[in-house]
Amino acid sequence: MKDFCPTILIVDDDESIRDTLEAILQKKYSVLKAKDGEEALEIVEKREVNVMLLDIVMPGISGLEVLKRIKDRFDDIEIIMISVVKEVDTAVQAMKMGAYDYITKEFNYDEVAALVDRVVEKQKLNKELIYLQSERNQYFDDTFILGKTRTMGQIYNLVRKVAKLPATILITGETGTGKELLARLIHRESGNAKSPFVTVHLASIPRELIESTLFGHEKGAFTGAHKQRFGKFELAHKGTIFLDEVGDLKYDIQAKLLRVIQEGTIERVGGSKTIKVDVRPIAATNIDLEKAVQSGEFREDLYYRFNVVPINLPPLRERVIDVPLLVEHFLNKYNRKFRRTVREVTPETLEILSRYPWPGNIRELENLIERLVAIAEKDRISSEDIPVEYHFPNLTSPKVARIKKDLLSQGREIFERNFILKALERANWSRIRTAESLGIPLSTLKYKLSKLNIYEAISERTKKTRKTKLGSKK
């Protein structure tokens, strides 16, 4: 990635002061110079300026007036005042108006360099704080579960090859397949993991706020813009920006986004100066962008910009072999979150979950496990804890009439089985006490246990109880 230096603007009517300060700072920074306040204001309207060294007394517009105008428009520019010794009171007044500090014209070279370094570091920390605040409400586990399928192995091999390259990546796949988690994996594998990873969920942003969200805005740019705001591209500087559901972008915003990707520069809404950004874009969509290009809904040039490295994530129904691994991962995640101790999901339950087609993909599976852990009353999740719709994946299918077994009978059996299992558990797995609690003869209960395959569950429970007792004796 290119290394963009912060820009320092020196404003003083004394040419020797301008040249001396330039000599001190030009080794580390990009330096601009202005001979008076009017020229300085013209520069900040057109160029990105990080720090300004501003003389208090100049012909024409005074330093204090320049300070006021800059702070009214550009909150992010830090200003260090330059004064003669007798103007110290005025310099203090300037600091009350928003100046960072002041130096006298009898400055020490090393002290000036150190002061500017501190100001630049402060700006960097401010941007990092804004980025962290924008992310603080997101509870996410950024672990991407590769699984055991050949397709996922091929995807990971591709990620390892391209992660460190500056190429733009387009991730496609159905909603809930883990596109953001894959983007985070690419960011980590890039070798630049400590840099920002900024997520923009484009579909959730109102159309009138898209441009401001992406590129930022200046104070007063529109009604409600009471102060300057950094856009997501600025917050992602030196890192990665993840543009989720890019297919939902309106055509006019697509053109502006293309320019940013091509030129590496942005302009805030209401501003005219060009700001350099060094960002690696990763785009994601759940729609067919090629069809959107053909229908004229998506720009062809932007599509090819994004589609340098295409990665398609398969739906969960095509990688059901990974369901047990994902279940274990989410079980651990929500045990930590809710401080629970749900230790296992029974094999029978995993079989039920593996048969389900998961129209909501990994996100639906995660939501289910989160709910089950949150309401769990024991240390395992069994088949009776699973909602009925997961037992009957074909219940809402248009092909339901072709199912050989009567669905109503299946539903009745599932309910009866789960009801008896709960009764057995309450009776500490005693069949006699269970029959009494249900108000049925023991022979009827035994018939039900055999018919509904409950003997296997009792046998499994008995084995675990014996192991526990043996362990405690040791």
Residues 195 and 280 in one domain: yes
- Whichever domain contains 436, its CATH number is 1.10.10
Residues 187 and 197 in one domain: yes
pLDDT at 384: 83
Residues 303 and 395 in one domain: no
User: Residue 409: which domain range?
Assistant: 405-474
| Residue 1 included in any domain | no
Strands 265-266, 275-276: parallel, antiparallel or unpaired by DSSP? antiparallel
Residues 35 and 166 in one domain: no
Q: Which band of pLDDT confidence, cut at 50, 70 and 90, is reported for residue 154?
A: very high
Residues 308 and 344 in one domain: no
Residue-wise pLDDT for 283-329, tens only, equals: 999 999 999 999 999 999 999 999 999 999 999 999 999 999 999 99
| Residue 2 included in any domain | no
Q: Which range is least confidently modeled, 57-71, 169-183, 208-222, 421-435?
A: 421-435
- Whichever domain contains 345, its CATH number is 1.10.8.60
Which of 313, 342, 364 is the C-terminal boundary of a domain? 313
Residues 398 and 300 in one domain: no
Q: Which band of pLDDT confidence, cut at 50, 70 and 90, is reported for residue 441?
A: confident
Number of domains in the chain: 4
| pTM, rounded to two decimals | 0.66
| Residue 61 included in any domain | yes
The answer, yes or no, to whether residue 414 has pLDDT greater than 80, is no
Residue-wise pLDDT for 31-67, tens only, equals: 999 999 999 999 998 888 999 999 998 999 999 999 9
Q: Which band of pLDDT confidence, cut at 50, 70 and 90, is reported for residue 121?
A: confident
Residues 324 and 390 in one domain: yes
| Residue 143 included in any domain | no
Q: What is the mean pLDDT of the chain?
A: 85
- Whichever domain contains 228, its CATH number is 3.40.50.300
- Whichever domain contains 123, its CATH number is 3.40.50.2300
Residues 383 and 411 in one domain: no
pLDDT at 175: 93
| Residue 190 included in any domain | yes
Residues 178 and 262 in one domain: yes
Residues 281 and 321 in one domain: no
Residues 348 and 411 in one domain: no
Q: Which range is least confidently modeled, 80-89, 190-199, 289-298?
A: 80-89
Residues 96 and 227 in one domain: no
